[in-house]
Amino acid sequence: MNGQLNWFKGGLLLGAAFLLAVAFVKPIGVSTQFVIADGIVWNLFSDDIVREDPASKTGYASPNSYLNKSGGKYAKNVANPVNYSFIFIIAMVAGALLSSRLGGPRAGVPDRSAPEVWRQRFGDRPGLRYATVFFAGILVLFGARLAGGCTSGHMMSGMMQTSLSGYLFAAGAFAAAIPAAVLVYTRK
Amino acid sequence: MTIVLAIILGLFFGFALQRVGATNPQNIINMLRLKDLHLMKAILFAIGFSSTLLFLLAGLGIIDAGHFSVKSAYTGVILGGALLGLGFAVAGYCPGTGLAALADGRKDALFFVGGGLLGALLYTLVYGSIKGSWLFDKIAGGKVMLAAGADKYQALVPAVPGVLLAGVIGVAFMVLAWKLPDKA
């Protein structure tokens, strides 16, 4: 495919990204930031979802037990969106944009609604694709939060550190994903 | 300073995801239905290569071993992984690649991210009633790693030097990446 790196060069580049992140700051993770983004919006409409609390470890607390977890860690990041992990995610989208503008692989017009493998199986029905992907998104992020991380945090960063949780996560994810993909899209 | 690093490292990561083809759901779906293992090879190579270097550089003191951050292992990790796997297979997106795919101008990625925000909100709302349940029963002590490398975390195989064990696992990943066929 045009602009796409082969597995070796691509693997080197991807591996370097994960290694540099842990060398300079900490392992890469993405899915927590969906919670932070929700919290930021919630905080716009609520006066008490996140409040300063000198008694808490981070100085912030929330009546919601998830945002209040680990001494109010998420509550603190909701209150201060300009923090490392949240800015990292925004920069990640910008980095992808940079790559696509500087000779990276480009998505054709039909591919922007649904990938070819979807269109071959279900036809040109963008509405069906959008609805399905929306529900898939709910599953993916609910699952990632239950697991405490996603493909980046658990699988890539986790297995890089040889953490047991990374291997368990990868086993659970592929044990479900491979049969599901074969069932939905077939092997043809 | 950490914000500058967030920008540089985030740009680099997003660039890598796009350039390797991970923002294209076609590549993810074809990997998962075992038709085109290009991305699987890249992922295995990335893990093997970064892991080997990480333990080597941390062992030499060049990388601060305090930067290791090992997540807890509990029942919900496997179950949550499986839920994620189902959505991952149908959509062809995971949280990181779904966001980065917005930069490709992919409209389906926008719906994925919207669903993701709702899924994360649902979890935030139900967490209070499931915390303390069997879902969070720790496995093998929770925050553990196979190889010794960071004092903060217990190693499951403490008898073998961490650099050696991580090196063997890392090289195995790289060899697997090299040997797997591109197209199946």
Nearest CA in chain B to A127: B108
Residues B128, A65: contact at Cβ < 8 Å? yes
| Measured distance CA(A53)–CA(A50) in Å, rounded | 9
DSSP B7-70: HHHHHHHHHHHHHTTTT-HHHHHHHHTTSB-HHHHHHHHHHHHHHHHHHHHHHTTSS-GGG--P
As a whole number, mean pLDDT of residues B17-37 equals 97
B15, B105, B111 ranked by CB distance to A99: nearest: B15
Give yes or no for B167 touching A (CB within 8 A): no
Q: Which ipTM was obtained for this model?
A: 0.97
Name B58's Cβ contacts closer than 8 Å, sequence gap at least 6. Answer: B64, B65, B68, B149, B150
pTM: 0.96
- Cα B98 off chain centre by: 14
Candidates B10, B96, B182; nearest CB to A90: B10
Burial of A103 from C-beta contacts in 10 A (0-12 / 13-18 / 19+): exposed
* B175 at interface of A, judged by CB pairs closer than 8 A: no
**Contact assignment for A164 to B90 by CB distance below 8 Å:** no
Could you tell me if B66 lies within 8 Å of chain A, comparing CB atoms?
Answer: no
Chain A residue numbers with beta carbons less than 8 Å from the beta carbon of B81 are 143, 147, 154, 168-173, 176
- Could you tell me which residue, B46 or B182, shows the higher pLDDT? B46
Alpha carbon dihedral B100, B106, B111, B117, in 10-degree steps, equals 10
In three-state secondary structure terms, A123 is coil
Is the CB of residue A30 less than 8 Å from the CB of residue B99?
Answer: yes
- Taking chain A (188 residues) in runs of 10, the rounded mean pLDDT of each run is 90 98 97 98 95 95 96 96 97 98 96 97 95 98 98 97 98 98 94
- pLDDT score for A11: 98
pLDDT digit string (tens) for B134-175?
A: 999 999 999 999 999 998 999 999 999 999 999 999 999 999
Tell me what the mean pLDDT of segment B79-98 comes to: 98
CB contact under 8 A, A148 and B77: yes
Chain A touched by B68 (CB under 8 Å) = yes
Chain B contact set for A187 (CB, 8 A): 33-35
Are A112 and B109 spatial neighbours (Cβ–Cβ below 8 Å)? Answer: no
Distance from CA of B159 to the nearest CA of A (A): 15
For helices B75-91 and B25-32, angle between their N-to-C axes, nearest 10 degrees: 120
Percentage of chain B lying above the pLDDT 70 cut: 99
A93: which residues sit within 8 A by CB, 6+ positions away? B14, B99, B100, B102, B103
**pLDDT-derived band at B80, boundaries 50, 70, 90:** very high
Distance from CA of B171 to the nearest CA of A (A): 12
**How many alpha carbons lie under 13 Å from residue B156 in its C-beta half-sphere?**
17
pLDDT for B5: 98
